Amino acid sequence: MNIQWYPGHMTKTRRMIVDQIKNVDAVCEILDARIPISSRNPDVDDMTVGKPRLVVLNRVDQADPEMTKKWAAYFRGKGYAVLESDAKSGVGTAKFAATVRELLADKLKSYAEKGQVGRVVRVMILGIPNVGKSTFINKVAGRKTAKTEDRPGVTRSKQWVPIDRNLELLDTPGILWPKFDDQSVGMNLAYTGAVKDDILDVETLGCHLMSYLGENYPDAITTSYKLAELPLREQEENDIAYGYRLLQAAGRKRGFLISGGEVDTERMAKILLDEYRGGKLGRFTLETPEQMEK
Ligand code: G4P
């Protein structure tokens, strides 16, 4: 896999986070609601021990609404405050300040008791590249702030973004590295466009995505590709083999044929990925809270 993050970059980011953690009251990790496991960096838990945590499930406009509810309940159950957001259109972002104050209610109460009314609350924003950090911060701040540099290894001075009189965001160190623990993480990040899809060949990606969607969202596939019915998965048939058959069925329907009447499955795979990313097939979530417990 062509991974963009190297140990040196991770060490640097980690050092910046550990360095800055003492300056903030809470940590907000922005996740992609479609892939809350793959877009999460579990190392954050160790680096932020003891800090109240807020999880933003971003891109809810692209995720399965039922699954977003489940994910929100899951993270609440872990003691995190949760905000569902579509940072692009601004849905949910207005609740950020109130959510932070609720999360820090005890602390704010004790400040008030000590007469420190109006003390500024600071929140560190973290997230992998492309998850929507800048868009989210801009919406929450109500204006355009500088784009966080997301090339690994590029150091930027820390940036405090005032939200209101009593709330500031720290959007650096900001950028987390994705954790490519297993192949499915790399694939999920490629489907959603968080990493370039040259990490795997397009046809392999297409087979896996098609197999997942065929199994979990069959109606979306039959409707989008005008299939009377979906070929059923055979016993012992793996993702690649099943996904390949679905690509063939969809490609045939679209008329993507090559010499000898065979289906151009590579072309179909590219189309599938483009249409998935463009939201043309529907709203899907590719990971479940049950997988998190495994
Ligand atoms: P980053 O700072 O974490 O790297 O991410 P950034 O905010 O730059 O967002 C990356 C892309 O994701 C942007 O699209 C942005 O508009 C889009 N985005 C962010 N949040 C959401 C969301 O909740 N829903 C949807 N649908 N998209 C979101 P872009 O193509 O790079 O730019 P543009 O087309 O918006 O100009």
Ligand 1: lining residues by beta carbon, under 6 Å: 58-59, 61-62, 86-88, 127, 129-135, 148, 150
Within 10 Å of residue 163's Cβ, how many Cβ atoms?
Answer: 18
- Least Cα distance to 211 among 191, 233, 229, 194 occurs for 233
Euclidean distance between CA atoms 71 and 292, whole angstroms: 10
- Side chain identity at residue 224, one-letter code: S
User: Can the peptide bond before residue 173 be classed as cis, meaning omega within 30 degrees of 0?
Assistant: yes
pLDDT value for 286? 96
184 Cβ contact partners less than 8 Å away, ≥ 6 residues apart: 38
- Cβ atoms of residues 171 and 141 within 8 Å: no
Within 10 Å of residue 226's Cβ, how many Cβ atoms?
Answer: 9
Please say if the pLDDT value at position 202 is more than 70. yes
User: Residue 174's pLDDT band (boundaries 50, 70, 90)?
Assistant: low
- Average pLDDT, integer, range 260-264: 93
Q: Which atom of ligand 1 is nearest to the CA of 137?
A: 7
**Whether the predicted model's global pTM rises above the 0.85 cut:** yes
Q: Which atom of ligand 1 is nearest to the CA of 87?
A: 23
